[in-house]
Structures are given as C-alpha cells and as structure tokens.
Amino acid sequence: MARVSLIEEQEHPELAAQITKIRGGRRGTLSMIYRLMLHSPAAAMAWYEQNSSLRWETELDGFLRELVILRVAVVTGCEYVRRVHAGVYAPEEGFTPAQVAAVGNLDARWDDAGSPEAALFEPRLRAALAYMDAMTRTVTVPEPVFAALKPHFDEREIVELTMLVAAYNMLTRVLTALEADLETLPPKKG
C-alpha cells in the first residue's frame, strides 16, 4: 500500500480541470502516479508537462525513449515503471521479449558488443544504454562513455536524452520512496 493516500477523483472536484487534462494525455486514465502527485496539484501538472514534452516532443524515437525509461526503472529497482513499460509501452515500440529481458539484466555490459544483451542492440542504442547506466548508477559520466555517445547523437538529442534519463530517475525515486502500488496496466493501443 502506498505511503500516502491516492486522490479519489470524485472527492476532489477542485481538481477537475487538472484531471481532465491528465486523462486527455494518458489514454483516458488517471494513473496511480497522478493520484499520488495530485496531493500537490502544481507539482503534478509540472510533472505532466515535463513528462509529456520529454516523451512526445523530442527528436528521440519511441524505441530509444522506451529503452531508456525501462532501463532506468530496472537500475533504480522501480517495479511499477518497469512493469508498465515492459508490459505495454516497450512492446508497442517494437521491443522483442529478448530485448525486454536484456534490458532487465542489471549486469549487462553495453560496451561489449559480444555480450548477449548488447548483441541485441545497435551501437547507437548501446551507447545510450551505457550513458543511462552511468547517469543513474553514479551520476558522473566518464569521458569514454560520453565520447561513445557523440557519434550517434547531435547536441539536441544528447540534451533530450539526458533530461529523459534525469526525469525518470526522479519519477522512479518518488514512486519507490512512496511505495507506489502496482496497478492494472493501461490499455494497449489498437
């Protein structure tokens, strides 16, 4: 059970405008994430806007975006985000079950193209995974990891990738600290 109560829509008519906006951008659902965050409406809406821009208004393609989000969830140990993205969003972006499993291996070595996990991804994606792992595990990114990223991404994409990693590090830590409950997965597109 979550450490704070979940906002019940019918008990908070003052949040109707925010809830309508969230539902409009989230497949008609008001997920547990927002039911927690809406205790602070301004913070919830700031997260909604930031998350929406990082997921839908960048140069990053959907596969890369889901790769990063899923790996952040795995490295930070956030079962809620891992489950939702592995079960719904990653497959929608073309992940194979083997790729989902590879991203779930905490010991994966992205700098070794011969490793079983790394072999499932092209060099551009391996560079992004190594960058994400460094940012999430130690915050400081070693120069060789950053140098491996530069041939594959322009400066805008590097900034967007960095912000996406940072945003999901924040979210996974909020959900973990508040012991967010797993919920029914959102409906698949189609």
Give me the number of domains the chain comprises. Answer: 2
Residues 102, 31, single domain; the answer is no
Encoded tokens for 121: 């991804």
- Residue 3 domain flag: no
- Residue 83 domain flag: yes
- Residue 118 domain flag: yes
| Average pLDDT of the residues in 5-12 | 92
- Within 10 A of 147 (CB to CB), how many other CB atoms are there? 11
Structural domain boundaries, residue 119: 62-177
Query: How high is the mean pLDDT of the chain?
Result: 92
**Does 190 have pLDDT greater than 90?**
no
CB-CB contact of 122 with 129 (8 Å): no
pLDDT at 180 (0 to 100): 85
Q: Which one, of 128, 163, 164, 169, lies nearest residue 149 by Cα?
A: 128
pLDDT at 188 (0 to 100): 53
- Range of 20-29, 107-116, 161-170, 175-184 with top mean pLDDT: 161-170
| Average pLDDT of the residues in 62-73 | 97
| Average pLDDT of the residues in 20-44 | 90
- Within 10 A of 7 (CB to CB), how many other CB atoms are there? 20
| Average pLDDT of the residues in 36-61 | 94
Phi and psi torsions of 113, nearest 5°: -60, -20
pLDDT more than 90, % of the chain: 78
Residues 124, 153, single domain; the answer is yes
- Residue 184 domain flag: no
Residues 36, 116, single domain; the answer is no
Q: Can you give 178-190 as a three-state secondary structure string? A: CCCCCCCCCCCCC
Residues 34, 110, single domain; the answer is no
- Residue 13 domain flag: yes
- Residue 172 domain flag: yes
What is the reported pTM? Answer: 0.90
Cα 23 to Cα 35, 46, 80, 89, 114: the distances in Å are 11, 15, 19, 17, 43
CATH code for position 68? 1.20.1290.10
- Residue 183 domain flag: no
Residues 69, 147, single domain; the answer is yes
Taking the alpha carbons of 23, 185, 82, 173 in that order, is the dihedral positive or negative?
positive
Residues 129, 41, single domain; the answer is no
pLDDT at 27 (0 to 100): 79
**Does 109 have pLDDT greater than 80?**
yes
- pLDDT tens across 130-187, in order? 999 999 999 999 999 999 999 999 999 999 999 999 999 999 999 999 988 776 545 5
Residues 133, 116, single domain; the answer is yes
Residues 51, 90, single domain; the answer is no
CB-CB contact of 27 with 50 (8 Å): no
- Residue 189 domain flag: no
Encoded tokens for 187: 């409906």
pLDDT at 185 (0 to 100): 47
CB-CB contact of 170 with 178 (8 Å): no
Higher pLDDT, 12 or 32: 12
Residues 75, 126, single domain; the answer is yes
Residues 67, 103, single domain; the answer is yes
